Structure 1
Amino acid sequence: MSSKKQKSKNKTASGFPLKGILILIAGLTVLFAVILATSLFKSYPVQGEKQMLAIGDGDSYSGFIDRLAQQDKVSFPIILKLYQKIMIHDSMKAGVYEIRQGMSVREVLELVSNAENAQMNRILVIEGTTFKQLIELLKKDDLVTKEVLNLPQDQMLKALNIPFNHPEGLFAPDTYFFAKGETDKKILTDLYKRQMKALDAAWANRASGLPYKDKYEALIMASIVEKETSLDSELNQVSGVFIRRLQQGMRLQTDPTVIYGMGDRYTGNITRTDLRTPTAYNTYTNNGLPPTPIALPSQKAIEAAMHPDNSNNVYFVATGNGGHKFTSNLQDHNRAVQEYLTVIRSKN
């Protein structure tokens, strides 16, 4: 065989040396193996023999994978995301999962796609949530054993040994972890005891001269304060405005109480007619506090209801840029309202 024929046998039909192609394939195979080893099949970082991994409501695979990459715990996050899209076809399920030493990232991704794998159930009760929303949250949670959720309200309170006629405001908002299958009765009892403990402590250390007959009225105020601002820095200011209004015989005139009194009639907008329509909770038509809380207040809101600021402010209005402007007289308040309307118009 001639040397020319021998050389042609070492080439492919396209003219590339066969040996070179084999080396390229081998190199790509090694590279792919390295990529998989540092992404999908890399051991998930665990301190000790095992640790718990909490997945919250609304957490996504994309965000979870990005956090792992930012913390240098995995490489090639795009590979993990492709694997999840192609092989898992599901969302992360809220709960607390046990991650054991030696588990791969791939195994962890698959583990958290099934709530049955959770060791504990994560329950997030948001500040300002209403009791109705809390009940709906627990009803939808498959990891909660249902015992009292479907009882009429009065029977539920009796079953929970709660000595109040209305459940609103009595349960502490927070992030909780309960065992899978925990009963709604145990969960609600724990939240109630937590709220009462916070209320009792705040009441025992309250400022002097507050216009409350008892700590339940303070809880009502805390719920209003909770609904009026999302800024912790404003809680004591909002509390101060409403407390001074009570002390001066002014009506509270707070929209959240009107909305609560509207119940299912509220669809996202509140009108002047709504403000003039009497209900037990309409603080535009009624003097004093509403009969019950209007939401589940946080411990910070409860503390604010017991410790108002020391200003003379009796008005506040949104700025349109986040937060509120607080004023002590109607003239300044009207000016602040016009400033707010100007800001809103400039954004439209």
Structure 2
Amino acid sequence: MSNDFYKKIGKSIKYHQKINWVLTLCFGLIWLLLTILVTQGMNIGGRSGLFIAPNLTLDGDGKKYLNNGMGESISYIWGIFGFIFFSIITLILVFNTFLKEMRTGQITLWMTLGMSKTSILLSKIFNIFSILIIVFIPSWLFVVVIGSTANDANLYIGHIIASGFLFIFFNLFISTIYVLIGMIFINQSGLFLSIALFITLFILATSIINFIWIMVSYSEHGTAKDQPFYSWMKYVKYFSIQSLYVQILQFDDRENLVPTVLFRIKDSQTMVAPLKISNLFWTIITPFITIVGSISLTTSSILIFNIKDLRI
């Protein structure tokens, strides 16, 4: 591909970023505020200070204090809250970038500037990617900075950084799904919105069910999960899209701590829960699945877009 091809894509991306800067700023501030509220609103600082992992503190009088740790709040932010928030952002961006421009005829303007359909589509996809990343980075940096001050940061700060990368990769993959649907129904905005909203609601529903299952599994030492009303929930994760994002900040039950890591702070000692890796193979291959999936979906979108009639 010639340098002119990349220059035109770059100009298109800059144009879209310029007209979407208010939207990007609003989404970024909302997501940063939500991140601050969740991480600071939850009691992540225990008697012995901030820890990433769930922990058990024994003070000088022999009293025990259990604390969830910062990892739990991160699992909410880069979990159920993040899935829904970024799905909504992606839906809005795809609609404005493709279907709205198609309806107003603005998308055909790029053709008059000597841009091919492939370069037009790629510039718009990269613009969506860049907005999602820009929205995510401030909150990610906030979590990393706060996490670096934790007593067990030397053990788990790398996991926080990696979790952030995996989360944004997953959302870029989700955006390519919306783009593909947008290409298929580029002349039918109502149908696109219906299908995209269904996917968003599916992500919401499966996220809530998975969340309930996790809570039930930990309640009453897991006895409630054997009840018929809850037992079916454990299978939902196998057909939910979110299963392609593996949360590597998962810890063993803090009530059954193995004292392998012990912190002595003043007159107290704190034990932290070890990481729980339920399926190492799946954890390793999911990033590759999302990357290959994103490339395949983008290629399919290009092929479909190239045969679409833009009514020039």
Given the two structures, how large is their TM-score scaled by the length of structure 2? 0.22
Higher alpha-carbon Rg: 1
